[in-house]
Structure 1
Amino acid sequence: MEGRRFWLRRPMSLGRHVAVVLLVAVLVFGVAAAVLWLAVGAPHLPRGAAFTVTNQLELIKLALAVVAGVGGVVALVVAYRRQAVVEKENERAVAAARRDDTRLFNERFGSSTTQLGHERPAVRAAAVYAVAGLADDAPSQELRQTCVSALCAYLRLPYQPDPSAQGWIAGEDEIRQAIVGSIRAHLAPGPLPSWNGCSFNLRNAVLDVIWLPGIHLTDGTHLNFTGCRVVGGTVDLRGARLTGGRMTFTGLELAAGARFVFDGAVAEGTRIEGDPLPADVAAFLDAAALSD
């Protein structure tokens, strides 16, 4: 059964294709001639009539026209088959290029994310920029999301921000700041490729600061700060343009004295949610509603 299905999928040979087209052309010509003959009253050749030289020349012209038409049909079939072969080869080349791009991406991604777990902070910091660069070069939005998710997953790992406490790791704060800085740089207008359209899952992450001034959120983007604990500073959204997507602040915990900063920010379409909504965020939304 499988062999039969394979045979059905094989392309028709050129000779058979030409024969089929010619047969269809003859049938169409015969039907058209019959309809035309009937339309003019089905005339008959008079008895005893003889073909004159003029009649013979007309027949020769008709025969040559038929031959030329057949040649044109064959030429069209050959051109069609050639074009179909070229398109098929192009499709195969594009598919092969995509496979190569995906394979190269997977190799680079595996190497970069492995370095994120290195014991030396300098190596981990280099891996952050490697993953960010890979996200910029990703051949699809899905693969870009994979890189973004890897960086966000790093921020969700257990983190001790107090140098005097057990579990503190030297240099870890700088690595995390580098990740947040990369997110900010790719969400703000600038020369870097935009990461808008991605989901940033920072649920329950411990962050020194949320430094996102000047970002521009568009549709499809989700900044999820549910359950985050900000231990060292503010949530900086100065000059942000919130025109689409979502921001979630449910259960966000700010250190003593920390607050949101919305100076110059504009909320024009981003869905900002929280249960409960932080007081600074609610005040910003109320002020934005009044300004409208």
Structure 2
Amino acid sequence: MDRSRWLRRPTSLSRHVAAVLVAALIVFVAAATALWLVLGAPRLPQGAAFTVTDQLELVKIALAVVAGVGGVVALVVAYRRQAVVEEENERARAAARRDDTRLFNERFGSATTQLGHERPAVRAAAVYAVTGLADDAPTQELRQTCVSVLCAYLRMPYQPEPSAPDWVAGEREIRHAIVGTIRAHLAPGPLPDWNGCAFNLSGAVLEGVGLPGIRLTDGTHLNLTRCRVVGGPVDLRGAQFVGGRLTCTAIQLDAGAGFELGGAVAVGTRFVGGPLPPDLAAFVATMHDAGSQ
């Protein structure tokens, strides 16, 4: 049985006190015996009468022993009281975590359901609701869940051409809002930092990727594999690539699209592609040459 759990059992107090006293007695006897042996095992005088001074010394020793026993009992009781308080605090923290998770799940279910609503305004509101959930998430895993939902929305089939029969009014604004939300939470600022999350946009159709000023750190993965970028550039001006990974394998850049990297710096991020787009490859090469000088 775990020692701390045994100490907290109501029936174990007397046994614990007795065990501590026995241990203290054993230590005392062992120490006294060792001291007696070190002094050459002297014999006690035979037939010597106790004087008043000797009796007072015995009384002092007895009082010291009683005080020591009382101190041991007090220490045991204080230790058990502290252990119980710590256990109660841990139970309270666990209950709070369960309540936070339950509330998160309730809000998450409501928000994600609205993402499939037929009205664009409702879908837009759901995007901001999921964003708020990500900001309030009690754990990194739950934050990643919210980020994954937003990225999954961007990976859904999308027609950017208004003249096409399957074009959906209002969808462009919602997608721009999601990209803007990602940018705001990866750039230095007052909002909670979403670095450490994976942003899986593989295969998404994106009308420009406005991510100026973002800062990628370790644990972050921005995945643009097989993305089709139309109607605007991948805007990474002023970005700080100090960790994490940016994957651009088989990215498709339509006419007018490309990477804008003015003022960006890279000192630790892995750039993955087969091969990288020309303007991104030139940027990486420039940063590599600057770092080797």
TM-score interval (norm. to shorter): over 0.9
Deviations 1:193-229 (A, max 9, x none): 1111100000100111111011111111100000000
Aligned position for 1:284: 283
- Alignment of 1:77 with 2:76, yes or no, is yes
- Alignment of 1:169 with 2:144, yes or no, is no
Aligned position for 1:215: 214
CA distance in 1 between counterparts of 2:13 and 2:192 reads: 48
CA distance in 1 between counterparts of 2:50 and 2:189 reads: 84
Aligned position for 2:97: 98
Aligned position for 2:151: 152
CA distance in 2 between counterparts of 1:45 and 1:190 reads: 81
Secondary structure at the aligned position of 1:232 is classed as strand
Displacement of 1:287: 2.4
Tell me the amino acid that sits aligned with residue 66 of structure 2.
V
Displacement of 1:263: 0.9
- Alignment of 1:266 with 2:271, yes or no, is no
Displacement of 1:9: 5.9
Aligned position for 1:127: 126
Secondary structure at the aligned position of 1:277 is classed as coil
Tell me the amino acid that sits aligned with residue 98 of structure 1.
R
Displacement of 1:267: 1.3
Aligned position for 2:66: 67
CA distance in 2 between counterparts of 1:214 and 1:51 reads: 91
Displacement of 1:231: 1.7
Aligned position for 1:55: 54
Deviations 1:15-64 (A, max 9, x none): 11111111111111112112222222222232221111111111111111
Given that residues 196 and 218 in structure 2 are in contact (C-alpha distance below 8 angstroms), is that contact kept between their aligned partners in structure 1? Answer: yes
Deviations 1:96-154 (A, max 9, x none): 11111111111111111111111100000011011111101111111111100000000
Show structure 1 runs of 5+ residues with no match: none
Tell me the amino acid that sits aligned with residue 76 of structure 1.
L
The root-mean-square deviation of aligned C-alpha atoms, in Å, is: 1.6
Deviations 1:233-290 (A, max 9, x none): 1111111111111000001001113221111111111111101211111111222233
CA distance in 2 between counterparts of 1:225 and 1:31 reads: 73
Tell me the amino acid that sits aligned with residue 77 of structure 1.
V
CA distance in 2 between counterparts of 1:142 and 1:275 reads: 30
Tell me the amino acid that sits aligned with residue 195 of structure 1.
W
Aligned position for 1:24: 23
Tell me the amino acid that sits aligned with residue 75 of structure 2.
L
CA distance in 2 between counterparts of 1:48 and 1:114 reads: 97
Aligned position for 1:139: 138
Displacement of 1:14: 1.0
Aligned position for 2:193: 194
Percent identity of the aligned residues? 74
CA distance in 1 between counterparts of 2:286 and 2:61 reads: 85
- Alignment of 1:228 with 2:237, yes or no, is no
Deviations 1:151-208 (A, max 9, x none): 0000011111111112111100110000000000001111111111100000100111
Given that residues 156 and 204 in structure 2 are in contact (C-alpha distance below 8 angstroms), is that contact kept between their aligned partners in structure 1? Answer: yes
Given that residues 243 and 270 in structure 2 are in contact (C-alpha distance below 8 angstroms), is that contact kept between their aligned partners in structure 1? Answer: yes
CA distance in 2 between counterparts of 1:56 and 1:258 reads: 101
